[in-house]
Amino acid sequence: MPLTILGLSGAVGHDPSAALYIDGKLVAAAEEERFVRDKHAKNRMPYEAAKFCLNQAGIRPADVDAVAIPFAPISLFTPARWHYARRYAYAPDRALDAIFTGNRRYHRYRKRIEWCLLQLGFDPKKIRIEPVEHHLAHAASAYLCSGFTEKTAILGIDGKGEYATTFFGWGENGRIHKIKEFYDPDSLGGLYGALTEYLGFDMLDGEFKVMGMAPYGDPSRHDFSRLAKFENGELTVNTDYANVIGFRRYKEKGKGCYFSPELVKWLGPKREGDVADEPYIHYAASIQALFERLSLAMIDHYLGDILRETGRIAFAGGCALNVKLNQKIIARPEVKELFVQPAASDAGTAVGAAAWVSQRYGVPVEKMEHVYLGPEYSNEDVIAAIAQYGRKRGVRLDWEKIESDALPGKVAGILAEGNPVAWFQGRMEFGPRALGNRSILGCPSVPGVADRINEEIKFRERWRPFCPSMLDTVGPRMFGTDHPAPFMTFTFEVNEEWKTRVPEVVHEDGTSRAQILRREFNPRYYDLMRELEKLTGNGVALNTSLNRRGEPMICSPEDALGMFYGSDLKYLVMQDVLVRKEKV
């Protein structure tokens, strides 16, 4: 009988997801937000995502051998709970709770998982539930999915799991060995999130915006070293300013923030609005610089020997999506290859927990080569959705079915004429990046196309950058490196020639966060870029996620039609079907 492991995340109150391994193969993975249309799906369980995974595999709950969850009880006889209590002594209720009832959150989560399983048709009394420590699940999602066979350094940085915030370890022969963990409130992810709030964005979502704002500022204008230090192998965050709880929090409209009034006294009022203005651009640059400096120092201290031995490193946790840090890691001479889990945030812990349990049961998991793991829809599904959408609104939509072989050339022509296109194909991506199946595409050599997408389609801040997808033959020429980059988890310096060839996908600092695609993993998208290369000379597409500001990525044809008719997009391609707003 095949070994079947279902991973379910959502323990820390956001980004619930499900992932299904059968005999070491990841057959399905999806985030709950895509089905319920609620970004990050806060305080939900991954019911719809799990139901999809089971249906995709064609299995019943009785066929599942174990359910892996990325949250585990933490013993009082380890440093974690004591560290939390000592560092939060200014809030005695929280400190004492950590010591006397420190696993209450785990028990509450497990009960919610059992309820979710019951709704899915499982018998919670019969199914084996396997808890995996949160940061171990992150580590497993990186190392076990990397495909690295050599000894591998493992890094995990995020806000917080049970108590841990940072993980250093190494993997070899499928086993993970822990070297060191840091505990709340000593969290670089938490610190970056607190400054994200101060800069006027939402935690869990706005960190990318801070990173995108940073190149417009000058990090030397403000010294942020008082916020955190790394000395003698220990990270310490200054809780006079950030990672604060209780009465130390700055409050706005009754809501507490993770920074303090002391931070506001030092830096001035909290930022408001969408403009990338001074002094806030310099604050963004300063927190990014501090984050990079401390992260690299910690890597040197705990993982330097392993990197000098083998050059391999695997990275997960929400901070692994900080592509500027990843660029600095790759640039280090001792690093041969960095693998970043493409769903590095808590959504990816469903994969990590399931992979860890599968490995422990004696079935190694396969290398993660792609993330096309979600639902897919046929031409018939698309046409039915178009008909239903038209009936509801009493209109007849303008659409046509294109021959499959002709579609890439047809769409490339529309792009080359300067038109953005909504591109809906195959199985939905797992993780935060659109990688050519749920994307808005543009031609990056057309002046102004990025501003048009920001202002008229995505409705987001004008200074936000866009990323390129490109043929694998283009990557080495555009960046001067052959480092694998299939998941948009790294930025690279763009060669001078290409800055003028594809300016719409080059950020303020001369870098691009790239997807370098091999044809075997997405033939249709590859062929589209090949057709674009014939027309423009550049096998590169501007690629951003198919959604509007504040919304999760599109999942179904119905979602795509709603977004299409709620924006200034003129063309939507779903499978072989081209929908137009007007005949051109």
Residues with a known catalytic role: 14
The three-state (H, E, C) secondary structure of 32-47, written as one string:
HHHHHCCHHHCCCCCH
Distance separating alpha carbons of residues 378 and 399, to the nearest angstrom: 16
Both tokens of 430, joined, read: 């797992």
Q: Looking at 311-348, list the stretches that DSSP marks H as alpha helix, in order from N- to C-terminal side.
A: 323-331
- Cis preceding-peptide flag for 185 (omega within 30 of 0): yes
Both tokens of 149, joined, read: 């066979």
Both tokens of 476, joined, read: 């080495």
3-class DSSP state for residue 349?
Answer: helix
Distance separating alpha carbons of residues 201 and 15, to the nearest angstrom: 18
Q: How are beta strands 164-172 and 175-183 bridged, if at all?
A: antiparallel
Both tokens of 547, joined, read: 């959604």
Distance separating alpha carbons of residues 460 and 13, to the nearest angstrom: 26
Neighbours of 305 (CB within 10 A): 12
Which residue in this structure is represented by tokens 């290369």? Answer: 533
Residues whose CB is less than 8 angstroms from the CB of residue 186 and which lie 6 or more positions away in sequence, other chains included: 83, 87, 165, 166, 228, 234, 235, 236, 237, 243
3-class DSSP state for residue 282?
Answer: helix
Residue whose C-alpha is closest to residue 71's, from 176, 162, 3, 187: 162
Cβ pair 522, 484 in contact under 8 A: no
Write the DSSP symbol of residue 271.
P
Strand partners, 230: 235
